[in-house]
Structure 1
């Protein structure tokens, strides 16, 4: 089995791929991951930076969930499309992003049955939308991570034969015993400067809340340090690339987890927060749209700052008994999920894709006729 990636990073999508790659190896499969290096900084940009006194720019080496993993991870020599010679012959080859779907679609049958692991609807402003949409119509067997994506593939792209394999949470990493509200009202959020994550909206919500809760504590973490594009208030406690145990600790210090995304394929942090008994206030995107109700959190429309603010206020204003009820409901929502179950579903979906190809081959190959009674 081969996963074809773009640049390996600390993104949620890469994390999910890593989890499944490890599970498939444990199940006895041979798994290869092929990815690109971070794109080199153009010489012209380096020179401009140098002559303007900003120094000589070096291409960054970004961390990845694949770092230090005992997996067959092959990085091609430069940032370019992945081609036939980069990919080993296999039973299955899996695209993980719209651009990789184009590359996988162009591979020969020797590279395996072609599968498209759809972790989001990638019609983003910074992508060539026509090309992105075209990938969802390619003859690749699709696996999606949420019901809304499965429905979208069926309704918008005419593909009803899509496997749904929901993301999960590791309850050995993310957990909490029943707990009370914090002595000081505390909210948390994921720091990510991509516009789709709605950080600008989150900061507006925080500004509004701080006027009503003078002692409000705000916790945040992210894979990259803030660049200044979205200045954080001095009151925000920012944690850079914390390890998983520390992330759990951050979740459990919060009364509310705030997610203001404009688009989400899933939203793993929301699920992790709920596993740590932290209610979530989220926009109607990804998995929260399917899982959150008034019993375990609050949903609001995209970019609706007032509704998000009101949602956080509602949870902060609950008395301790009421908050504990919502907290327990949040935990129960994700209690039965497990990566083991999801990995089994993912493996079965790959097997289904292989079986579908073999079935199509049998149908396409004329079989010799057998007439009974003649000899």
Structure 2
């Protein structure tokens, strides 16, 4: 098949990484894959900082490093400036895939030469740079819809969407995220992803850590993130922080913890859950994204949204487990993360694209892929 993906910006966000993963894997299966995206608008403070460093003030648009740069089998085209993507930006195809609510309108307006129209929905984007007035109408466009997690189905249904909705969950790269069977850390340790994005909930995780440490003074924290520590959300004294880490360092961070804290207020899927679990680390999670579907299988503990006391209690429960009980939880986490692979996900995604394009599959299976 000839497959187009339409992205807003090719950032380093998790949803873009998922698109890159599918693009690469579909290309490896012999499909002709093109990705088209807009340039990234640099924030004014970053432009100012570059100017003060003598790097110039003139460049508003930036073409940063992307997940597509090293994919020799995928064509990635960044248009000259932000605007709706139109027919002239894309090759003719069998299927063209919108990956964000604004791109859904663009894809819907493309000519039939761009193939069947698909909408890959990775989040309830009303809560992320969108509005109900803008997002909900895109759900009702006549596009074939693929959802990244089961929780999105009732969300769309509640807004009157009656189309067939296919669920194709994410997987984890077991080569990049893995660890041998192990016991608890020599010193009780928890970890988190450090971000000032409100919906990521790092403030909740940090508050829960401090509360737990009051009862367990030897408790340690390890975190990773892309930015310098924030003045209004300081890391606890003695915390280990890995800034802009390599993939291998991220894996090592996950594997160095007795529990991973996932306190998101809103999430599309929550890839760090799978990554930590693949590294045999139980997850303490709020019911955001796919957390209930993943952690609910016994590889961690679910807590209430923004419930600092409950998360602190769960931290103490997990790190105080005896080694046998902790290993059992760790093994369940690993089994959940590795029971469903990117090959499985790509099989389901490819079948769904063929279904949208009216092309038969050699082996007709259930289109919706569930755990």
On whether the aligned pair clears a TM of 0.5, the verdict is yes
Query: What's the CA shift string for 1:197-245, capped at 9, x where partnerless?
Result: 1122122112212222222221111234445353323422221232222
- 1:16 matched to which residue of 2? 18
Query: Is 2:147 the partner of 1:144?
Result: yes
Q: Distance in 2 between matches of 1:333 and 1:232?
A: 31
Structure 2 SS opposite 1:228: coil
Pick closer, same or farther for the CA change 1:207–1:15 going to 2, 3 Å.
same
Q: How does 1:87-166 map to 2 (within 5 A)?
A: 87-124=90-127, 126-166=129-169
Q: Distance in 2 between matches of 1:293 and 1:345?
A: 23
Query: What's the CA shift string for 1:149-192, capped at 9, x where partnerless?
Result: 13333343323411111100121221122111001111111122
Query: Is 2:77 the partner of 1:77?
Result: no
- 2:312 matched to which residue of 1? 309
Residue segments in structure 2 that go unaligned for 5+ positions in a row: 360-371
Measured after TM superposition, the shift of residue 7 of structure 1 is 1.0
Residues 153 and 162, structure 1, Cα contact 8 Å, conserved in 2: no
Higher radius of gyration, 1 or 2: 1
Structure 2 SS opposite 1:34: strand
Which stretch has the larger CA shift, 317-326 or 217-226? Answer: 217-226
Structure 2 SS opposite 1:352: helix
Q: How does 1:20-35 map to 2 (within 5 A)?
A: 20-35=22-37
Q: Distance in 2 between matches of 1:73 and 1:21?
A: 10
Residues 146 and 166, structure 1, Cα contact 8 Å, conserved in 2: yes
Q: Distance in 1 between matches of 2:248 and 2:30?
A: 29
1:210 to 210, 213, 222: 213
Pick closer, same or farther for the CA change 1:108–1:225 going to 2, 3 Å.
farther
Pick closer, same or farther for the CA change 1:87–1:61 going to 2, 3 Å.
closer
Aligned residues: 353
Query: Is 2:348 the partner of 1:345?
Result: yes
- 1:280 matched to which residue of 2? 283
Q: Distance in 1 between matches of 2:140 and 2:305?
A: 27
Measured after TM superposition, the shift of residue 62 of structure 1 is 3.8
Structure 2 SS opposite 1:6: strand
- 1:37 matched to which residue of 2? 39
Q: Distance in 1 between matches of 2:150 and 2:49?
A: 47
Pick closer, same or farther for the CA change 1:42–1:317 going to 2, 3 Å.
closer
Residues 10 and 223, structure 1, Cα contact 8 Å, conserved in 2: no
Residue segments in structure 1 that go unaligned for 5+ positions in a row: 357-375
Measured after TM superposition, the shift of residue 294 of structure 1 is 7.6
Query: Is 2:178 the partner of 1:196?
Result: no
Query: What's the CA shift string for 1:57-103, capped at 9, x where partnerless?
Result: 86565432223322200000112222222122111110001111121
Q: Distance in 1 between matches of 2:189 and 2:272?
A: 17
Q: Distance in 2 between matches of 1:349 and 1:138?
A: 17
Residues 40 and 79, structure 1, Cα contact 8 Å, conserved in 2: no
Measured after TM superposition, the shift of residue 113 of structure 1 is 0.8
